[in-house]
Amino acid sequence: MKKKNRLVLIRHGESLWNQLNQFTGWTDVQLSIKGKKEALAAGKLLKKKNFFFDYCYTSVLQRAIHTLWIVLKEINQSWLPVKKTWRLNERHYGKLQGLNKDSVIEKYGLENIQKWRRSFKEIPPKMTDLQKLVIRSDNRYVNLENSEIPNSESLELTLLRILPFWEKVIFPKIQNNKNILIVAHGNSLRALIKYLSKLDEKSVYNLSVPTGIPIIYNIDNSNISKEYKFLKN
């Protein structure tokens, strides 16, 4: 029987700031109780459907890392190699990070917020040099070039920082017929889905990635299908 190869994407479970309706971005926020349950449910579903993986990738933010831990424990594959990279981090929301979304709408207007959140090329207001210095001093990012640390990101810029890692690290494994699990963030996954499924800007504007629901791409002869599906019971 021919082995079925798959690429599986999972957005981390709900975080505490998701719960509080705050812009999170690169801020390292924990999973909420609901988020842990969502991660567990994702693991149970993958186990039920007999998913097996060869390699796992995640960001350097704990909400994604801990979601992956929960999933791997549930599917009894905690021994798998895991690579963490800042390139899979959530998009950087600049000056908006930490702010309540409703209060930001009051300040900037719904139209601007929708463009910053949903469009491909619009960039939110940039953070200050002092805020960037805080990131620069974080041990996770001390080896990055200053130009690699964003002041703020559009979805397009998020995709551009993901692609080198995709092309050099992940895609060669797919070409070698390996099953891949990526646990990341709403916008880093939106960017990757745009690339894989060749979505236009209108389609990606309307694309939402729910927390804790596995997204499945089938792989045939090293070619990734443009079509994806949400895994269901």
Q: Find the catalytic residue in 12, 66, 92, 185.
A: 12
**DSSP, res 140:** T
Give strand ranges (E) for the chain.
5-11, 55-58, 82-84, 180-184, 215-220, 223-224, 229-230
Let me know if 230 is exposed, middle or buried by CB neighbors in 10 A (0-12, 13-18, 19+): exposed
Q: Find the catalytic residue in 14, 74, 90, 153.
A: 90
90 carries an active-site annotation: yes
Question: Cα dihedral angle (172, 144, 62, 115), rounded to 10 degrees?
Answer: -90
For tokens 């309307």, the residue is: 206
122 carries an active-site annotation: no
Tally of CA atoms within 13 A in the half-sphere of 48 that contains its CB: 10
**DSSP, res 10:** E
Q: Which residues are catalytic?
A: 12, 90
